[in-house]
Amino acid sequence: MRYTINSDTFYLKAKNAYLKCISSDENSFLRKEIDIPIKSIILRNESISIKFSQNNEDSYVIKISINLLNKQDRIIGNYFYFEDHNGNAIDDMLVIK
Protein backbone atom coordinates (compact mmCIF):
# COMPACT_ATOMS: atom_id res chain seq x y z
CA MET A 1 0.00 0.00 0.00
CA ARG A 2 1.37 3.44 -0.94
CA TYR A 3 0.69 6.58 1.09
CA THR A 4 1.15 10.14 -0.08
CA ILE A 5 1.30 13.05 2.33
CA ASN A 6 1.37 16.80 1.85
CA SER A 7 3.78 18.00 4.50
CA ASP A 8 2.67 21.65 4.15
CA THR A 9 -0.87 20.67 5.13
CA PHE A 10 0.32 18.78 8.21
CA TYR A 11 2.60 21.60 9.35
CA LEU A 12 -0.19 24.12 8.87
CA LYS A 13 -2.56 21.99 10.98
CA ALA A 14 0.07 21.71 13.71
CA LYS A 15 0.83 25.44 13.71
CA ASN A 16 -2.88 26.30 13.92
CA ALA A 17 -3.30 23.82 16.79
CA TYR A 18 -0.29 25.41 18.56
CA LEU A 19 -1.81 28.89 18.24
CA LYS A 20 -5.14 27.60 19.55
CA CYS A 21 -3.37 25.84 22.44
CA ILE A 22 -1.27 28.82 23.49
CA SER A 23 -4.12 31.33 23.23
CA SER A 24 -6.68 29.25 25.13
CA ASP A 25 -7.76 30.78 28.45
CA GLU A 26 -7.48 27.39 30.16
CA ASN A 27 -3.80 27.28 29.09
CA SER A 28 -2.94 30.82 30.23
CA PHE A 29 -0.31 29.33 32.57
CA LEU A 30 1.70 28.35 29.46
CA ARG A 31 2.16 31.99 28.49
CA LYS A 32 3.66 32.60 31.93
CA GLU A 33 6.14 29.72 31.53
CA ILE A 34 7.58 31.18 28.34
CA ASP A 35 9.91 34.04 29.22
CA ILE A 36 9.52 35.87 25.89
CA PRO A 37 6.44 37.43 24.27
CA ILE A 38 4.34 34.80 22.50
CA LYS A 39 4.20 36.90 19.32
CA SER A 40 8.00 36.87 19.03
CA ILE A 41 8.23 33.05 18.95
CA ILE A 42 9.27 31.70 15.57
CA LEU A 43 7.76 28.36 14.50
CA ARG A 44 10.01 26.11 12.44
CA ASN A 45 8.99 22.82 10.84
CA GLU A 46 10.96 19.94 12.36
CA SER A 47 9.62 16.54 11.32
CA ILE A 48 6.66 14.37 10.46
CA SER A 49 6.59 10.74 11.49
CA ILE A 50 4.02 8.04 10.89
CA LYS A 51 3.58 5.09 13.22
CA PHE A 52 1.58 2.19 11.82
CA SER A 53 -0.44 -0.15 13.97
CA GLN A 54 1.14 -3.57 14.11
CA ASN A 55 -2.27 -5.22 13.91
CA ASN A 56 -3.81 -3.10 11.15
CA GLU A 57 -1.74 -1.46 8.42
CA ASP A 58 -4.61 0.90 7.58
CA SER A 59 -4.44 2.37 11.09
CA TYR A 60 -1.69 4.83 11.90
CA VAL A 61 -0.83 7.95 13.90
CA ILE A 62 0.90 10.97 12.41
CA LYS A 63 3.18 13.01 14.68
CA ILE A 64 4.08 16.52 13.52
CA SER A 65 6.94 18.22 15.37
CA ILE A 66 7.56 21.96 15.36
CA ASN A 67 10.46 23.80 16.98
CA LEU A 68 9.80 27.02 18.87
CA LEU A 69 12.65 29.50 18.46
CA ASN A 70 13.52 32.89 19.90
CA LYS A 71 14.80 35.79 17.79
CA GLN A 72 18.37 34.54 18.26
CA ASP A 73 17.36 31.32 16.46
CA ARG A 74 17.72 29.23 19.63
CA ILE A 75 15.24 26.46 20.32
CA ILE A 76 13.18 27.34 23.40
CA GLY A 77 10.68 24.50 23.08
CA ASN A 78 8.81 22.06 20.90
CA TYR A 79 5.22 21.48 19.96
CA PHE A 80 3.96 18.03 18.99
CA TYR A 81 0.64 17.45 17.27
CA PHE A 82 -0.83 13.98 16.76
CA GLU A 83 -3.62 12.92 14.45
CA ASP A 84 -5.11 9.58 13.53
CA HIS A 85 -5.46 7.95 10.11
CA ASN A 86 -8.79 9.72 9.63
CA GLY A 87 -7.27 13.17 10.09
CA ASN A 88 -8.70 13.66 13.58
CA ALA A 89 -6.57 15.47 16.17
CA ILE A 90 -5.94 13.02 19.00
CA ASP A 91 -3.34 14.77 21.17
CA ASP A 92 -0.84 17.57 21.40
CA MET A 93 2.04 18.47 23.67
CA LEU A 94 3.97 21.67 24.32
CA VAL A 95 7.44 21.30 25.84
CA ILE A 96 9.29 24.39 27.02
CA LYS A 97 13.04 24.07 27.57
Start-to-end CA distance of the chain, whole Å, equals 39
- Is 2 a member of any domain? no
- Is 61 a member of any domain? yes
- Is 56 a member of any domain? yes
- Is 59 a member of any domain? yes
pLDDT at 68: 97
Cα–Cα nearest to 94, from 63, 62, 61, 66: 66
* Helix, strand, coil in percent for the chain, rounding step 5: 30, 40, 30
- Is 35 a member of any domain? yes
pTM of the predicted model as reported, rounded to 2 decimal places:
0.89
Q: Which domain holds residue 24?
A: 7-96
Mean pLDDT of all residues belonging to the chain: 91
- Is 1 a member of any domain? no
What pLDDT, in 10s, does the model give residues 7-23?
A: 999 999 999 999 999 98
Number of compact structural domains in the chain: 1
pLDDT at 3: 63
What pLDDT, in 10s, does the model give residues 38-48?
A: 889 999 999 99
